[in-house]
Amino acid sequence: MITPRTPSGTLELLPHDQIAFQRMLDAIRAGYERFGFLPVQTPVFERSEVLLTKTGGETERQVYFVQSTGALEKTRGAAGEGADDGEHAAYPELALRFDLTVPLARYVAEHENELTFPFRRYQMQRVYRGERPQRGRFREFYQCDVDIIGKDQLSVRHDAECPAIIHAIFTDLAIGPFTIQINNRKLLRGFYEDLGIVDGDHQAGVLREVDKLDKRGEDYLRTTLTGEGFGLAPDVVERILEFVQVRSTGHDDALARLAAVEAASSGSAALAEGVAELREVLELVRALGVPESDYCLNFSIARGLDYYTGTVYETTLDEHPEIGSICSGGRYDNLAGQYTRSRLPGVGISIGLSRLFWQLRDAGLLDASTSSSTVQVLVPQVDAELLGDQLALASQLRQGGINTEVVLDGGKLGKQLRYADRAGIRFVAILGRQEAADGTVTLKDLRREDQFTVPRAEVVSALRVELAQPLV
């Protein structure tokens, strides 16, 4: 007998939670489709040579390789025969994707001539990382990505679509108030250039330290940046500290902050470009109907140091800042330089749904949405002799588009009702002798603790009316 165990580092859910998870997936997908994005799915594995072109050391160590039994035996056979290490250092042919960006780059480069640009795609699939298992860290997790890819160029106007998408989706998900924080890498680069921190590595080093502000505090930063390694002047450090603490408090305040940054600049072209891009993005975000309370400038946001080149986004829950960013992304210059000579600039965002779901559940923020089943009606077995009528009623409900479970094993009605209640099934459609004689059905609303009898021909329309009314 083998002990049945889920592999560690995966988020396997019981049906109740899986329903809540699917509702979130559905809401995100509906949001992406509402903004005119097309679906793409790629295989779970890629050819290793495709997957490993772009990665640094850390990601590469976390890659999961895939080998069939035959391939595995071949490798081992060769090793057993004392073949040299050089041969074995070659990777297996296939590996599981560790994000959705590399597969997107491969997909766009491979199908370049069959796609229309700007190419707007969404992709919601699981990705894999061989992390050490620990609380809240997953080896398998969903990413829900949306990207707009241009050919040769892509107007910065598209950068305004991302906040609008984030706003629509997190409003639908109803997990509390949130703020979309916007910054621009050109602005950042220009700001540091103006301070004389021009060299790329130097700048990256400073940014890495600045990123520790929340954890280590201002004094750590003052000591470190004025110290030997960086050697910045104290007033330069104060300007950095002031800069990274900028959060705008409304649309006009955001524009004023940009004007102030521009006025204080000693003339960096990058800074001017970043300011101009942010201005345009902010205007269009407002034109797209995002309320000004839901977005702000945050000059501390940098995101991945190598990848993003323009606008960057992070999103936080106002009442749960400890969860960190729930949706991030940004603008990049060239998606697929490893696979094609075409220049493919893009902008996109990603929601790490497995981690978000886990955190929301952990924080007790999922209660309301998990209490209802996908099953809308239970047809209990009241009288075994009426089984045929009971099945006909179930068919009638299903043909009316109502998700219906029918009890085929019998048992006491009270027990069947308790099952429905525990399972989160809201309605019970009872067809007993009396109802059969009258041509009616008795509908029990377990949520409202209410019941009423309707003619059998009207059972679908009656339930539809009930289901359409929100439960307060």
Interface with a second copy in residues 48-107 (CB under 8 A)? 49-50, 53, 60-72, 75-76, 79-80, 82, 85, 88-89, 91-92, 94, 96, 105-107
In the complex, the smallest distance separating the C-beta of residue 439 from a second copy, rounded to whole angstroms, is 18
Region of 217-225, 371-379, 429-437, 464-472 interacting with a second copy (CB under 8 A): 371-379
In the complex, the smallest distance separating the C-beta of residue 328 from a second copy, rounded to whole angstroms, is 22
**Should residue 38 be labelled a site residue for a second copy when binding is judged by CB under 8 A?**
yes
CA distance 328 to 351: 7
**Should residue 208 be labelled a site residue for a second copy when binding is judged by CB under 8 A?**
no
The pairing of beta strand 119-128 with beta strand 140-149:
antiparallel
Token pair for 296: 């702000």
Nearer to a second copy by Cβ, of 129 and 189: the residue is 129
Nearer to a second copy by Cβ, of 126 and 361: the residue is 126
Residue 363: phi, psi to the nearest 5? -85, 5
Per CB under 8 A, contacts with a second copy among 312-351 are 336, 338-341
Nearer to a second copy by Cβ, of 124 and 296: the residue is 124
In the complex, the smallest distance separating the C-beta of residue 296 from a second copy, rounded to whole angstroms, is 20
143 known ligand binder: yes
Judged by CB under 8 A, which of 116, 215, 219, 235 binds a second copy?
116
Give the x-and-dash track for 373-402 against a second copy (CB under 8 A).
xxx--x--------xx--xx-xx--xx-xx
Closest CA to 425 of 459, 367, 378: 378
3-class secondary structure, 99: coil
308 known ligand binder: yes
In the complex, the smallest distance separating the C-beta of residue 111 from a second copy, rounded to whole angstroms, is 6
Nearer to a second copy by Cβ, of 16 and 447: the residue is 16
**Should residue 411 be labelled a site residue for a second copy when binding is judged by CB under 8 A?**
no
Helix locations, 200-352, DSSP H: 200-210, 213-216, 218-226, 234-244, 251-264, 269-287
3-class secondary structure, 48: helix
3-class secondary structure, 254: helix
100 known ligand binder: yes
Separation in Å, CA 219 to CA 204, 207, 301, 384? 20, 16, 20, 77
In the complex, the smallest distance separating the C-beta of residue 128 from a second copy, rounded to whole angstroms, is 8
Nearer to a second copy by Cβ, of 43 and 229: the residue is 43
CA distance 63 to 79: 22
In the complex, the smallest distance separating the C-beta of residue 70 from a second copy, rounded to whole angstroms, is 6
Nearer to a second copy by Cβ, of 53 and 266: the residue is 53
Per CB under 8 A, contacts with a second copy among 267-296 are 284, 287-289
Confirm if 278 and 299 have CB atoms less than 8 A apart: no
Per CB under 8 A, contacts with a second copy among 145-164 are 150, 154-155, 157-158, 161, 164
Closest CA to 404 of 369, 428, 440, 385: 428
Nearer to a second copy by Cβ, of 155 and 249: the residue is 155
For every residue of 2-38, DSSP letters joined together read ----PPTT-----HHHHHHHHHHHHHHHHHHHHTTPE
Helix (H) or strand (E) segment spanning residue 134: none
Per CB under 8 A, contacts with a second copy among 178-207 are none
Nearer to a second copy by Cβ, of 221 and 428: the residue is 428
CA distance 112 to 344: 10
CA distance 3 to 105: 41
Residue 428: phi, psi to the nearest 5? -125, 130
In the complex, the smallest distance separating the C-beta of residue 80 from a second copy, rounded to whole angstroms, is 6
CA distance 362 to 360: 5
Helix (H) or strand (E) segment spanning residue 460: helix 459-468
Region of 114-122, 186-194, 207-215, 300-308 interacting with a second copy (CB under 8 A): 114-122
Residue carrying structure tokens 């470009």: 273
Region of 16-24, 229-237, 297-305, 355-363 interacting with a second copy (CB under 8 A): 16-24
Closest CA to 344 of 172, 117, 98: 117
Judged by CB under 8 A, which of 277, 405, 435, 466 binds a second copy?
405
**Should residue 461 be labelled a site residue for a second copy when binding is judged by CB under 8 A?**
no
Nearer to a second copy by Cβ, of 192 and 339: the residue is 339
Judged by CB under 8 A, which of 121, 186, 355, 426 binds a second copy?
121
CA distance 427 to 447: 8
Q: What is the largest CA-CA distance in the chain?
A: 92
Residues in the chain: 472
**Should residue 462 be labelled a site residue for a second copy when binding is judged by CB under 8 A?**
no
Annotated binding site for L-histidine: 99-101, 129, 143, 147, 303, 307-308
Query: Annotated binding site, which residues?
Result: 99-101, 129, 143, 147, 303, 307-308
